Amino acid sequence: MRLDVFFTPAELQARTSLAEQTVVVIDVLRATSTMVEALANGARSIFAVPTTDEAVRIAQNIGRDQTLLTGERNCVRIEGFDLGNSPLEFTRERVAGRQLIMTTTNGTAALASVASAKRVLVASLLNVDAVARELAETDESITLVCAGRERRFALEDAICAGTLALRLYRRQGRRKNWSDAALAAAQLARRYVHSIERTLRRAAAGRALIELGFARDVEFCGRLDVYDVVPWFRDRQVAL
Amino acid sequence: MRLDVFFTPAELQARTSLAEQTVVVIDVLRATSTMVEALANGARSIFAVPTTDEAVRIAQNIGRDQTLLTGERNCVRIEGFDLGNSPLEFTRERVAGRQLIMTTTNGTAALASVASAKRVLVASLLNVDAVARELAETDESITLVCAGRERRFALEDAICAGTLALRLYRRQGRRKNWSDAALAAAQLARRYVHSIERTLRRAAAGRALIELGFARDVEFCGRLDVYDVVPWFRDRQVAL
């Protein structure tokens, strides 16, 4: 089994094809954490789309009263949308049984960029062990894609990818076919595993969120193995 | 002083401008190691160009007998060229006083991609401390650009960038304005500093070179602080 990590979706263009790959998309602060939270709280599914226009169009097609429009630009809720991108907003009361439509700066764009993969899973620190267990069942090549931050390396996504790699190694005992980036991510996870919350606060995305008043989100997204869920992305929707 | 690291030139498109930046280009296996070796052995300067056609054209303009055409594709010397990209070929006997023209898969392309920067330096493990000393003199923003391997993350370049960051920190005592990638590179350097040669052999670029018979190159490029030289890249040439 080959294991590779892309620290940013920008590197993806180097890759010929994802058609035979299982891809895992990671955006710890905050899109994939929020998706995991929403689905764990009973959301039916989440349309994950790159643009605001597309989100609004899908909402109109389904029926605006049937849907929750969610997402952010510059970390803040999009005007006219029901929810932003803070996982704390996605309570059971708000989302259970609802159809969500989400657009974010980095996370939903990353999902769109890997839509051609054979299978796309969604990971965050909140559900990292559940995803590792699912991956351990496959013999396919696995590619972990970090959403990053504005097309740049994001420490929290790298740590999540590395944690996933280490959990997979613990289950399979093999790392012969790890790429350089997979080895590096695993080292970063080893280094930071005991100080994840502090590290998230220090990372660029964490600092930006704290400055905007989202310190509780950073704390919330820094917790390991809270949910035993493995969201899939297919037909433009994330669901369990 | 801001310190940033790009693990691949692919990330560079995210950056608006390098015009106020000091940029350091790193391609440990092998282009920047070979450039350092050539200049330490007395080469006059090195035209670093992305394409074979351009290399040949410059050689014809200057006069083919005045120049050494050097470089590789798929790790192997380009047909009709005088030298490949193995630092061991760039002996004092071959290169002293000579005008070199070099084109390689990753390294010279990375140099071309940062040509708009205020200042571009060339680093490898062989001259990492000399470059750190030069950087410690500046208050400008510094960006370390890893050439990577076929547009992907390369462990040896990340370790070199991290070593440079740590040496700079040792001289300046500041790392407040380090990016996520700079923090990550420094951690990787800390982790691998005591096993650099083994790590280079395990990295994807190292394995590929060993398979092609260049094991001695990998060993050669894995040595720290061999030369006290700081090559600059300007007007398409690398020189001291």
Edge-to-edge strands, sheet with A119-123: A3-6, A141-146, A21-26, A119-123, A232-234, A237-239, A45-48, A99-103, A67-73, A76-77
B188/A155 Cβ within 8 A: no
Give the span between the Cα atoms of A198 and B138, in whole angstroms.
30
Nearest residue to A79 (alpha-carbon basis) of A45, A47, A55: A55
A13/B150 Cβ within 8 A: no
A5/B184 Cβ within 8 A: no
Residue A165, pLDDT score: 97
Mutate to test the interface with B, among A149, A150, A153, A155 (most CBs of B within 10 A): A153
Please give the ipTM for the structure prediction. Answer: 0.94
Is residue B240, in this structure, part of any structural domain at all? no
- pLDDT of A185 > 80? The answer is yes
| Owning domain of residue B188 | 3-235
Residue A150, pLDDT score: 84
A153/B180 Cβ within 8 A: yes
Residue A10, pLDDT score: 84
Query: pLDDT tens for residues A24-77?
Result: 999 999 999 999 999 999 999 999 999 999 999 999 999 988 899 999 999 999
Is residue A239, in this structure, part of any structural domain at all? no
- pLDDT of A83 > 70? The answer is yes
Find tokens 């190292």 and name the residue: B206
Which residue is closest to B181 within chain A, CA to CA?
A153
Cβ-Cβ contacts under 8 Å, A198 against chain B: none
Find tokens 């590096």 and name the residue: A184
From the list B13, B158, B180, which residue is nearest A184 (CB)?
B158
Residue B183's φ and ψ, nearest 5 degrees, are: -60, -45
Nearest C-alpha of chain B: how many angstroms from A188?
7
Find tokens 């669901």 and name the residue: A239
DSSP element (H, E) containing A8: none
- pLDDT of A14 > 80? The answer is no
Query: pLDDT tens for residues A131-174?
Result: 999 999 988 899 999 999 988 999 999 999 999 999 999 998 87
- pLDDT of A4 > 70? The answer is yes
Give the span between the Cα atoms of B66 and B124, in whole angstroms.
27
Residue B238, pLDDT score: 98
| pTM > 0.90 | yes
From the list B13, B180, B204, which residue is nearest A10 (CB)?
B13
B149/A181 Cβ within 8 A: no
- Give CB contacts under 8 A, 24+ apart, made by A196-202: A196/A125, A196/A159, A196/A222, A196/A224, A197/A222, A199/A155, A199/A156, A199/A159, A200/A28, A200/A29, A200/A156, A202/A155, A202/B183
Residue B237, pLDDT score: 97
Cβ-Cβ contacts under 8 Å, B205 against chain A: 180
Domain count, chain A: 1
Is residue A238, in this structure, part of any structural domain at all? no
Mutate to test the interface with A, among B153, B166, B183, B196 (most CBs of A within 10 A): B153
Residue B123, pLDDT score: 98
Instruction: Band the pLDDT of A1: cuts 50, 70, 90.
Output: confident
Cβ-Cβ contacts under 8 Å, B13 against chain A: 10, 151
Mean pLDDT, each 10-residue run in order, chain B (240 residues): 91 77 97 98 96 95 93 93 97 97 92 94 98 93 94 96 96 87 97 93 96 97 97 97
Could you tell me whether strands B67-73 and B232-234 are parallel, antiparallel, or unpaired per DSSP bridges?
unpaired
Residue B16, pLDDT score: 60
Is residue A161, in this structure, part of any structural domain at all? yes
CB B108 within 8 A of CB B102: yes
Residue B14, pLDDT score: 59
Is residue B195, in this structure, part of any structural domain at all? yes
A152/B180 Cβ within 8 A: yes
Cβ-Cβ contacts under 8 Å, A153 against chain B: 5, 7, 11, 179-181, 184
Cβ-Cβ contacts under 8 Å, A166 against chain B: none
- Cβ-count burial of B19 within 10 angstroms (0-12 exposed, 13-18 middle, 19+ buried)? exposed
Which residue is closest to B156 within chain A, CA to CA?
A180
Residue A184, pLDDT score: 98
Nearest residue to B87 (alpha-carbon basis) of B28, B136, B145: B28
Query: pLDDT tens for residues A199-227?
Result: 999 999 999 999 999 999 999 999 999 99
From the list A5, A13, A155, which residue is nearest B184 (CB)?
A155
Is residue A240, in this structure, part of any structural domain at all? no
Cβ-Cβ contacts under 8 Å, A149 against chain B: 180
- How many cross-chain Cβ pairs, A to B, lie less than 8 Å apart? 82
User: Residue B108: which CATH number?
Assistant: 3.90.1560.10
Residue A173, pLDDT score: 83
Which residue is closest to A9 within chain B, CA to CA?
B11
Concatenate the DSSP letters of all residues of B37-106 into one string: HHHHTT--EEEE-S-HHHHHHHHHHH-GGGEEEEEEETTEEPTT-SB-S-GGG--HHHHTTPEEEEE-SS
Tokens found for residue B221:
């490029």
Nearest C-alpha of chain A: how many angstroms from B155?
5
Is residue A10, in this structure, part of any structural domain at all? yes
Nearest C-alpha of chain A: how many angstroms from B179?
7
Residue A16, pLDDT score: 60
Give the span between the Cα atoms of B36 and B26, in whole angstroms.
11
Give the span between the Cα atoms of B52 and B46, in whole angstroms.
14
Residue A67, pLDDT score: 95
